[in-house]
Structure 1
């Protein structure tokens, strides 16, 4: 007895399984096609595209350069904070063995990073060397300077340093604790001002990028008005019409970011030698900070997103004005 062939599955069931997958493939194909087509359109007008990207790059260079400057200032700030110290003056009657014990007691404090004991004799020697009055000070019958301990706190925050100073003054054998935090507070205020200026410039020039890309995309929308009207008549959605312009804006932003990255690299190389020479004249070594991999990726991502956002704003605004005739 022959077997009957199996009945094919209902057409509706097969369509139900394949339709989402085919839609996804069609959506991906259209995205790929619009991405390549928008890149080809930019290449057909290289001068205009390059000028637009250059305008975007110029708008991005200043906040990025200020960001790099603040990054270098943070490194310098960290080095200066490490130099924040307390000077603990011991009582005049404290001898060297007792001063050494007090130094060990201060070092054992949980908020103290390191200490340096300066005996009365060492203090007098440094004083004579600083003033150049070795002969006059050598005639003194006894050393009027007390021993002292230079304390480097673990936490350079001004409030924590003040609290530490109050605790160290209560140690037996300590006569006075002196600290100078005015310069550190001024440095913190300058750093906060720099961060706010950088943020304001980033927002301001980011708005400039949006305007540049938006104006360019608006002109592109106007030049393709008839094409947009035709595809709208046959049922194209706004997302379908908007897609190529969004890719164009992203390409503009990415190109502007690459140009800005190149300008920053050239500027850093150009200024590296004078900055190194200036730092060497002060007996220090300082190198201009570089963007690095993370900074470069952040710059390119922000520029691409700004280009995409500027295109989206421009297209959404002018697409509502385009009506099929």
Structure 2
């Protein structure tokens, strides 16, 4: 008695090759659209270059403000390092007592470093700062007391205020001088700059979307008949949308590269005047530049904005075609 041989499961065996073939076809189409979209941009270099330049200008302003805030944060850190309290000792405190007070202040947990300035040192620094050595040499008695310059461990206004109140209670301390106004102003300006940079980034981001969207909309209108034909033979929206998405990404990437070039040119153009201005004040300062991470972020954001602008434009066009 013969047993019937089992029928081979052709569906299960052919499913994997079909899936692989579809994946290969999908990858081939992506590569083809990537190259084709770049080729279409090269065919009209002037118009597309102007579009990328408009995107670059929209990206340069928030990026430049971001760099300015970055340099302001570096300046903020330097100023915080210079945030100090000046502890003036009583006139009757002699040198040995001043040294003991300095040791007691240095042992405070909220104090990082201290520097004891004797009355003679204070007068010498005062004369050197004002250039009044001849006029002050005639004084019979030194009116300046000994002082201690205190650098706090935490240069926060509230912490410095608490430290000043604690130091005023120490024996031998006459007065503690603390100027918090410039720290508060600097923090308020930094917060204002951050919000302004965020607002400009969002605003000019919408500008990039509008520029790319309008350019892609014109490209879609010029290829309307082609789109209608491929949709009649069964093309999906993703298939139709794909070449325009790559075009938008190319626009965004090109605009990001031009923005980096404009930022570099602006940095070289302004570096000498800024360095000369800083040198006139006896300081060294150089304009910040985008590093590798910042350049990558800028190019990624510009490419993403171009892709998103193209997606919105093509999706709106396909929705209007479906409604007809």
Q: TM-score range by the shorter chain?
A: over 0.9
Q: How does 1:200-279 map to 2 (within 5 A)?
A: 200-279=199-278
Question: The residue matched to 1:115 in structure 2 has which SS?
Answer: strand
Q: Which residue of 1 aligns with 2:56?
A: 57
CA distance in 2, matches of 1:324, 1:8: 48
Task: Return closer, same or farther for 1:288/1:135 CA change in 2, 3 Å cut-off.
Answer: closer
Q: Does 1:186 align with 2:185?
A: yes
Structure 2: gaps of 5 or more residues: none
Structure 2 SS opposite 1:322: helix
Of 290-299 and 123-132, deviating more is 123-132
The runs of at least 4 aligned residues of structure 1 exceeding 6 Å deviation read none
SS of the residue 1:306 aligns to: helix
| Matched residue SS, 1:156 | coil
TM-score when normalising by structure 2? 0.92
Q: How many pairs are equivalent?
A: 320
Task: Indicate if the aligned counterparts of 1:169 and 1:177 stay in contact, CA closer than 8 A.
Answer: yes
| Cross-structure match for 1:42 | 41
Which whole-Å CA distance do the structure 2 matches of 1:165 and 1:115 have between them?
Answer: 14
Q: How does 1:84-95 map to 2 (within 5 A)?
A: 84-95=83-94
What is the distance in 1 between the residues matched to 2:313 and 2:132? 76
Question: 1:233·1:324 contact (CA, 8 Å) conserved in 2?
Answer: no
Alpha-carbon separation, structure 1, partners of 2:9 and 2:166: 86
User: Are 1:25 and 2:24 an aligned pair?
Assistant: yes
1:110 Cα deviation from its structure 2 partner: 2.2
Aligned CA distance change for structure 1 residues 133 and 208 (closer, same or farther; 3 Å): closer
* SS class of match (1:117): strand
| Partner Cα distance (2:258, 2:135) in 1 | 66
State the Cα distance separating 1:197 from its structure 2 match.
1.3
- SS at 1:321 equivalent: helix
Give the alignment of 1:122-141 within 5 angstroms. Answer: 122-130=121-129, 134=133, 137-138=136-137
Which residue is equivalent to 2:313?
Answer: 314
Task: Specify the SS of the correspondent of 1:88.
Answer: strand
- In the TM superposition, residue 204 of structure 1 has moved relative to its aligned partner by 1.1
For 1:109 and 1:21, the matched residues in 2 are separated by: 71
Cα offset, 1:64, TM superposition:
1.0
Question: Would the alpha carbon gap of residues 33 and 92 (structure 1) be closer, same or farther in structure 2, given more than 3 Å must change?
Answer: same
Shift of residue 268, structure 1, vs aligned partner: 0.7
- Give the SS at the match of 1:320: helix
1:96 aligned residue? 95
Cα deviation, 1:259-307, whole Å, max 9, x if unaligned, reads 1101111111111111111111111111110101111111101100110
Q: Distance in 1 between matches of 2:224 and 2:131?
A: 85
Residue 154 (structure 1) aligns with: 153
Q: What TM-score, normalized by structure 1, do the two folds share? A: 0.92
